[in-house]
Amino acid sequence: MTQPPQKHHILPSLADKYICLAKDEMLWQTNLKRAMGIVAKHSQQAVDVARCGIWLYSNPQATEKTLNCQAFACDGPDTNTDELSIHAADYPPYFAALEDNRVICAHNARTDPRTACFADTYLEPFDITSLLDATLHHEGAASGVICFEHIKTMRQWNEEEINFATSVADLLSQLIMYYSLRNSEMRYRTVFDSTGDALVIVRNNVVCDCNAAALKLFRCNRQQFIGHPVDKLWPLSEQNPSETYTRFEWLQTRWDNTQFYTDVTLTRAKLEQEEHLIVSVRDISGKRQASDQLKALNSLHLAIFDGTNYSIIATDLHGIIHTFNRAAEQSLRYSAEEVINKQTPLIFHTPKELTWRAETLTRELGYELLPNFEVLVAKARLGQIEEYEWQYQRKDGTELPVSLAVAPLRDTQQNISGFLFMAADITERKRANEQLIDSKREMERRANHDGLTGLPNRSRLHDVAAIAIHNAHKSGNKVALMLLDLNRFKDINDTLGHSIGDQILKEIAKRLQPMLVRHGAYLYRLGGDEFAILIAKIQEGDEAISLASFIDASLRKPIVSDGISLEIGGSIGIAVYPDHGENSHALLRCADVAMYSAKSSAQPLAFYDAAQDAHSPRRLMLMAELGNAIRQNELVLHYQPKVDLKTGHCVGCEALIRWQHPKLGQVPPFEFIPMAEMTEIIKPLSEWVLVKALEQTKEWHRKGIPMKVSINLSARNLVDYDFPLLVERHLKNNDFPAQSLEVEITESALISDPERSLQIIKRIHDLGVRFAIDDFGTGYSSMAYLKRLPLSTLKIDRTFVSDMLNDEQDEMIIKSTIGLAHSFGLNVVAEGVEDEETMQHLAHLNCEIAQGFYIAKPLPAATFEQWYIQHNKR
């Protein structure tokens, strides 16, 4: 008879409220200030307190710390948080408590030694009786606090409320990190500050950034300039920048009220998905002054311009040069003697440029101009000053980009008597502008593409998916988003090395992308071995399933790398708009759920099913109850024996944690240990394992059983400077011989901070504790770890051992690993031994120790002891 479906566990109300808050997408789509306001209001209402505030350190590294209020929610009118701050010098007990405690749970805040310092100035005036404060953390240190303030009668905070406060504090820490990364300075500072020209970046007609040259030019500081409306500097309302640039001259006023003429170039660019103007400003006061003086003097005696940096050339009506200043000599590499009364400015211009100007001016003036000297002075003959960017040609044939102005010279009767050519070298400005634009394009490419495969990345996926969803909403079509995860990629990457793994990822991209393009789909790499496929327009979900089948067939074709043929395969999860979500983030999460469903059922692909998505609230509930499980003795250690392959004797065991939940039954370690590693609860959990393993092994020693025990450490333990002290204390408290304790670490646990991890491992090793590594790959990094770490044992993973008799490649990997370990003086333990034949073959390969279900599965302490006694009688 079919059993009725089991009812799902009903979550506590605060857990539901936390899930609602964490899923609020507005938190990630606004700014940090507004996001913290949302969190404060939601938390105040959820816990039902009078007031809830969020405070951040102004500078966490400062000696004298200050907390500034960022958001405040209360039952009354809104509170202005701009001037609310707390100084550590005024309340030292509280600030010390923030550093030492994850949570300050003050039932009676006025007498609690951590919070009593606020009694006179804050608690009593506002009738606050109880405080619940949870600290925010960044890079292992306190960075702020969320405060729940209860008024009138005292309140006993329960564990559910404490768990809610710590969960919200972790959420705030994630928000701060997210917005910090999103708003980080990526405005190409090197190029930006290297040019001598003033550069200003404008958004919405307001200055949002500038370089040092701009501050020097306008004689102001950064605080004065940033946020300044640019219509007081440049006539933006009268300008309409084109796709390239707009250029004009403008009389500007500095902050000290002095005026100067500038050459302004406006370039439109898109930065951080918003339209900006890049403004280049050059001081041309000297150039304008020279032009004005020429008009006033109305003569060709231009020796007064020898002190300027502008190239100044004056000619008569026939174009014969009469004046050639020092700057012209230096820029064009002709001497004055070579050109005065001998040459015209034609020698500085290429025929190609002259032809182009002739065609342009012919259209403007309405009559034909020949490509000669008249081309350059046609508008000057009409009484106009012509200014444009030009290419001068030096004597040695090299080109010099200049800003060139041509003006008429007049005699006393106002008749044109000659022409004046003034040119400014703009090489650096052009190079800086080109570098700035190139840098912007390169940064945008890097920001939106994966560096290894060249595929668009997660950021680009969300941008394109948003457009596809918008179009689908208008047309009534659907959008499909698939998540692809490669099978056994980590094993291949760790075993054959990261270079082989990289080759495989590039081959996957090269293989899939052309096929997907033909089907109107787009391929993205999200990171690691995860890819996403976006189909912008489908009618039904069956179209996505059909394409996923093509992808699966393509993946199953072997990939040959360094002479090794590898079969990869993958797991594909599919989600569809609007059936499964309204935006790309929701679709990606649903595709992730479907992908894990496919992986767990050993199927190549799966469609999203809401019924499979119950694990998310389950994880939240387990995280909230894990701390209580430690205190209520719901956890237990099982011990799996290790056997010497030569003697057959049991030489040790591995302690493995189990959780017997009072309502859910057996909770597998892979479900709750990764959650613990993401929070501070990993510390008490690791200490519990250490203490229980030492106590039990010490008891066996008293009974004459010379047992050695292994425990596993997480990545969080390996960056905790206090953990070696904790190990030392418990070894002494149990009078436990350190050489009987072995710590197993994984290579992946060392990745986050290798140098710090190495220091902590050496401190524990100095106590006499032995170390084993059991996540070993043959890449460069693994060789480096073997060389530097104080290891005694290397463990071969069960994925290679279980099929070594049938897979020559697995056998070759095991044989090579044993040889490598022995060359470093290490013993080898093979995990996952499930039959006698495998055990004998490992002994033949000179493996020292075996561990697996064939010998014994993990056993409770009492059962393990009975097994040990019976085993040693053989």
The band of 367, judged by pLDDT with boundaries at 50, 70 and 90, is very low
Fold adopted by 189-283? Beta-Lactamase (3.30.450)
**Which carries the bigger pLDDT value, residue 837 or residue 496?**
837
pLDDT at 253: 87
Lowest mean pLDDT among 183-192, 209-218, 661-670: 183-192
The band of 188, judged by pLDDT with boundaries at 50, 70 and 90, is low
- DSSP assignment of 80-132 equals --TT-EEETTT-HHHHHHHHH-SEEEESSTTTSTTTGGGIIIIITTTTEEEEE
Parts of the chain belonging to CATH 3.30.70.270: 449-613
Number of other CB atoms surrounding residue 752 within 10 Å: 12
Whole-Å CA distances, 426 to 13, 33, 265, 281, 657 = 68, 43, 12, 12, 71
**What's the pLDDT tens digit per position in 788-822?**
889 999 998 887 888 888 888 888 888 988 988 89
Question: Which pairs with CB-CB distance under 8 Å and at least 24 residues apart come from 667-674?
Answer: 667/622, 671/619, 671/622, 672/622, 672/623, 672/626, 673/714
End-to-end CA distance of the chain: 47
Fold adopted by 286-430? Beta-Lactamase (3.30.450)
Q: Cα–Cα distance between 417 and 609 in angstroms, integer?
A: 87
If phi over 0 gives left and psi between -120 and 50 gives alpha, with beta otherwise, what is residue 704? left
Residue 586, exposed/middle/buried by CB under 10 A (0-12, 13-18, 19+)? middle
The band of 186, judged by pLDDT with boundaries at 50, 70 and 90, is very low
- DSSP assignment of 731-747 equals HHHTT--GGGEEEEE-G
Whole-Å CA distances, 537 to 145, 543, 830 = 46, 10, 51
Are the beta carbons of 271 and 440 closer than 8 angstroms?
A: yes
Q: Which amino acid is at 752?
A: S
pLDDT at 379: 53
Please enumerate in sequence order all residues whose Cβ is within 8 A of that of 814, keeping only pairs 6 or more positions apart, or say none: 796, 800, 801, 804, 830, 842, 845, 847
Whether 60 shows a pLDDT value over 90: the answer reads no
Lowest mean pLDDT among 373-387, 575-589, 591-605: 373-387
Q: Cα–Cα distance between 533 and 110 in angstroms, integer?
A: 58
This prediction's pTM: 0.39
**What's the pLDDT tens digit per position in 659-696?**
988 888 888 887 788 677 767 788 899 999 999 999 99
**Which carries the bigger pLDDT value, residue 170 or residue 303?**
170
Which of 569, 572, 593, 571 shows the shortest CA–CA distance to 581? 593
* Helices and strands (DSSP H and E) totals, the chain: 28, 33
Strands 259-271 and 386-393 turn out to be unpaired
Query: Across all residues in the chain, what is the average pLDDT?
Result: 81
Whether 366 shows a pLDDT value over 50: the answer reads no
Q: Report the pLDDT averaged over residues 573-598.
A: 87
Whether 618 shows a pLDDT value over 90: the answer reads no
State the Cα torsion 250-253-259-265 to the nearest 10°.
-30
The band of 266, judged by pLDDT with boundaries at 50, 70 and 90, is confident
- DSSP assignment of 641-706 equals EEEETTT--EEEEEEEEEEEETTTEEEPHHHHHHHHHTSTTHHHHHHHHHHHHHHHHHHHHHTT--
Residue 141 is inside which H or E element, if any?
A: strand 141-151
Whether 184 shows a pLDDT value over 70: the answer reads no
Q: Which amino acid is at 814?
A: I
Fold adopted by 619-872? TIM Barrel (3.20.20)
Highest mean pLDDT out of 452-456, 584-588, 687-691: 687-691
Q: State the number of CA atoms in the 13 A half-sphere of 259 facing the CB.
A: 7
The band of 12, judged by pLDDT with boundaries at 50, 70 and 90, is low
Please enumerate in sequence order all residues whose Cβ is within 8 A of that of 106, keeping only pairs 6 or more positions apart, or say none: 112, 114, 115, 130, 131, 132, 133
Tokens of 790: 């104080």
Fold adopted by 13-182? Beta-Lactamase (3.30.450)
**Which carries the bigger pLDDT value, residue 289 or residue 282?**
282
**Which carries the bigger pLDDT value, residue 280 or residue 638?**
638
Parts of the chain belonging to CATH 3.20.20.450: 619-872
Highest mean pLDDT out of 219-228, 404-413, 743-752: 219-228
pLDDT at 784: 59
Parts of the chain belonging to CATH 3.30.450.40: 13-182
Q: Could you give the angle at the alpha carbon of 145 between the alpha carbons of 141 and 148, nearest 5°?
A: 155
Please enumerate in sequence order all residues whose Cβ is within 8 A of that of 777, keeping only pairs 6 or more positions apart, or say none: 493, 494, 495, 496, 497, 747
The band of 574, judged by pLDDT with boundaries at 50, 70 and 90, is very high
Whether 251 shows a pLDDT value over 70: the answer reads yes
Number of other CB atoms surrounding residue 408 within 10 Å: 23
Which of 131, 173, 167, 137 shows the shortest CA–CA distance to 151? 131
The band of 785, judged by pLDDT with boundaries at 50, 70 and 90, is low
Backbone phi and psi for residue 536, each to the nearest 5 degrees, phi listed first: -75, -20
Residue 311, exposed/middle/buried by CB under 10 A (0-12, 13-18, 19+)? buried
Parts of the chain belonging to CATH 3.30.450.20: 189-283, 286-430
**Which carries the bigger pLDDT value, residue 785 or residue 144?**
144
Q: Which residues pair with 81 in a beta bridge?
A: none
CATH, domain range 449-613? 3.30.70.270
Are the beta carbons of 57 and 144 closer than 8 angstroms?
A: yes
- Please give the order of strands across the beta sheet that includes 85-87: 85-87, 66-74, 51-57, 141-151, 128-138, 103-106
If phi over 0 gives left and psi between -120 and 50 gives alpha, with beta otherwise, what is residue 562? left
Q: State the number of CA atoms in the 13 A half-sphere of 688 facing the CB.
A: 22
- Return the SS3 of 754: helix
Q: Report the pLDDT averaged over residues 425-432.
A: 80
Tokens of 275: 């339209």
The band of 67, judged by pLDDT with boundaries at 50, 70 and 90, is very high
Tokens of 680: 């501070």
Q: Cα–Cα distance between 13 and 621 in angstroms, integer?
A: 11
Whole-Å CA distances, 196 to 63, 212, 540, 691 = 38, 9, 59, 65
The band of 382, judged by pLDDT with boundaries at 50, 70 and 90, is low
pLDDT at 355: 46
- DSSP assignment of 368-396 equals ---SSHHHHHHHHHTT--EEEEEEEE-TT
Whether 380 shows a pLDDT value over 70: the answer reads no
pLDDT at 6: 41
**What's the pLDDT tens digit per position in 731-756?**
999 999 999 999 998 876 776 567 78
pLDDT at 230: 81
